[in-house]
Structure 1
Amino acid sequence: MKPMIKWTAMALAVCLPLSAQAHRAWMLPSATVLSGEDPWITVDAAVSNDLFYFEHFPLRLQGIGQLDQAPAGGPPGMRPRPAAQLQVIAPDGSQVQPENGSIGRYRSTFDVHLTEKGTYKLAIANSGLVARWKENGETRRWMGNPDAFAKEVPAKAEDLQVSQNSSRMEVFATSGAPTKTVLEPTGKGLELSPVTHPNDLYAGEAAEFVFLLDGKPAADVEISVIPGGNRYRDDLGEINAKTDAQGKVSITWPDAGMYWLEAELTSDKGVSKPATERRASYSATLEVLPQ
């Protein structure tokens, strides 16, 4: 029996290696630094080749739009599948419900009402096992949880490779003065622990970030930073960096605008059977303001 490939848009992006990832999953806020008495942000969520351009398919989020059916005219073979769990965390640490959600052909959209002063975090976390093997000369792929692995992946599959994957996608937005409550790490997977506040970034200035793996400094993490709008330029404009022994990295922003940051780490440490390697990734959309 041929196994069904179980992917969400987020899971698909997680499983692609950073160097070859043509499709990138992202959230794009209308603004990240706000003032006034009644601020809102609108957030687009999508998977695309170009940043931040809608041309592939929407990032499907629980509670956003009609998730019981695939978008009309979607990619061939696209079927209803589990959606990613979005968390919106207020400055006091409480959960906030996104509003006015909808899902379209190329993007999902929702609003967040910033009723408190301080920094909000929008986060999507995903984890599971990814398996690849040969069957009748063809490559088969599967993703799911450890309980389903034994039932759905052949025990003696040819050339079986199993990896333990985790990912996190984040956006930060601040009403008034920045706060730090939502910046506290969860201690799970690869996370950003900012030295420079993510809503205090300026063109021409260096920002310092620390990356943690399960709450501990993550050394030698590959970092890729790409400014949005690459559809309209010949040069991707990618900035490459790597964390030091303390998990720290410094990035100098060449221009103002929206940037997509991705960090990726592959290791054989902290791996649980049946996996033989661990792959952790982190991504964020960051707004860099002019001086």
Structure 2
Amino acid sequence: MTASRAAAVLAGLAVLTLPVAAQAHRMWMVPSSTVLSGTDAWVTVDAAVSNTLFFPDHVPMRLNGLQVIGPDGAVANPENPATGKYRSTFDVHMTKPGTYKITTANEGLMASWKDGTETKRWRGSVTDFATAVPQGAPELKVTANQRRLETFVTLGAPTTDALKPTGKGLELEPVTHPNDLVAGEAAKFRLLLDGKPASGVEVEVIPGGARYRKSPGEIKATTGADGVFQVTWPEAGMYWMEAEVRGGAGPVPGSERNAGYVATFEVLPD
């Protein structure tokens, strides 16, 4: 592995496990199309972690754990995956009518503790935690980070089987179909945490094209007691959505959890 490739891998892993609110960079997937007609179609998806939204200028998104969930709920692998200097790309072959969810979920632990006067730090999986981190170490702090990233494409009429939540981490349960978003109209979504409504969660929505605007043009909403929030789209285009829940018990004793959700949507003209 070259030095530049190793640096990109480490940077990508760091973004996956950092708390959402602390990130200076944004991770995203953008499909070439989100609504298609016919009985057989392809979309190409760009995936990156960037300083400027939807412009690959930092590191590529790693494709580990990437899944395509078809209209029947079956899981398929993306085709023709490739990772370059600034972005990854892959294809999705749509052979069945309906909605496809393109998703990747990552989780990991960060730990710090005192070893004499030195502060030790570790980053890794729940599986490796018990052998890598000394239990009962002085000033031991453990944070569990979960992040889910999604986008949606539909061939023909929209369907909902692919949209079913897994019940793990922070997830989006659409009330309005994610491929039925129109400029000037309100859309409703529900956030779930481990399958239950996540109330009081702040959601940030940013339209694409921020590179050419003086301000990002962000839209903010907060979920109600039922986990539902509403967004009225000011204009057509691609939008990036992010939400985070911080705190609560993590998967190992004494750990705290940060759960993040990110999605990309296309809003069509009215």
1:70 is aligned to none
TM superposition shift of 1:252: 0.9
Return the match for 2:40 from 38, 41, 48.
38
Is 1:104 equivalent to 2:84 in the alignment? yes
1:125 is aligned to 105
Distance 2:258 2:242 in 1: 13
Alpha carbon RMSD of aligned pairs, Å?
2.2
Distance 2:217 2:113 in 1: 36
Give runs of aligned pairs for residues 116-155 of structure 1, distance below 5 A. Answer: 116-133=96-113, 140-155=120-135
Return the match for 2:264 from 267, 285, 289.
285
CA contact (8 A) 2:17 2:107 kept: no
1:53 is aligned to 55
Is 1:209 equivalent to 2:189 in the alignment? yes
Count of aligned pairs between the two proteins: 263
Larger mean Cα displacement after TM superposition, 147-156 or 27-36? 147-156
TM superposition shift of 1:39: 1.5
Distance 2:211 2:180 in 1: 27
AA matched with 1:39: A
TM-score by length of 1: 0.83
TM superposition shift of 1:274: 3.1
CA contact (8 A) 2:207 2:218 kept: yes
Give runs of aligned pairs for residues 192-271 of structure 1, distance below 5 A. Answer: 192-268=172-248, 270-271=249-250
Give runs of aligned pairs for residues 24-103 of structure 1, distance below 5 A. Answer: 24-61=26-63, 84-103=64-83
CA contact (8 A) 2:170 2:193 kept: yes
Q: Which ranges in structure 2 are unaligned for 5 or more consecutive residues? A: 1-8
Distance 1:142 1:229 in 2: 37
Secondary structure at 1:148 match in 2: helix
Secondary structure at 1:163 match in 2: strand
Secondary structure at 2:140 match in 1: strand
Give CA-to-partner distance per residue, 1:69-110, whole Å, 9 cap, x none. xxxxxxxxxxxxxxx211101101112232222111111111
1:187 is aligned to 167
Secondary structure at 1:150 match in 2: helix
Larger mean Cα displacement after TM superposition, 11-20 or 186-195? 11-20
TM superposition shift of 1:142: 2.5
Distance 1:20 1:279 in 2: 11
Distance 2:229 2:149 in 1: 18
- 1:233–1:137 distance in 2 versus 1, CA, 3 Å: farther
| Structure with the largest fraction of strand | 2
1:177 is aligned to 157
AA matched with 1:279: N
CA contact (8 A) 1:14 1:281 kept: no
- 1:154–1:202 distance in 2 versus 1, CA, 3 Å: same
Is 1:161 equivalent to 2:141 in the alignment? yes
- 1:239–1:10 distance in 2 versus 1, CA, 3 Å: farther
Distance 2:119 2:44 in 1: 40
- 1:143–1:188 distance in 2 versus 1, CA, 3 Å: same
Give CA-to-partner distance per residue, 1:95-137, whole Å, 9 cap, x none. 2232222111111111111111100011101122222345687
Percent sequence identity over aligned pairs: 59
- 1:37–1:273 distance in 2 versus 1, CA, 3 Å: closer
Distance 2:70 2:10 in 1: 26
Give CA-to-partner distance per residue, 1:212-258, whole Å, 9 cap, x none. 11111111112111111212211011112211111110111111110
Give CA-to-partner distance per residue, 1:129-153, whole Å, 9 cap, x none. 2223456877654222233223223
Distance 1:119 1:9 in 2: 32
CA contact (8 A) 2:44 2:89 kept: yes
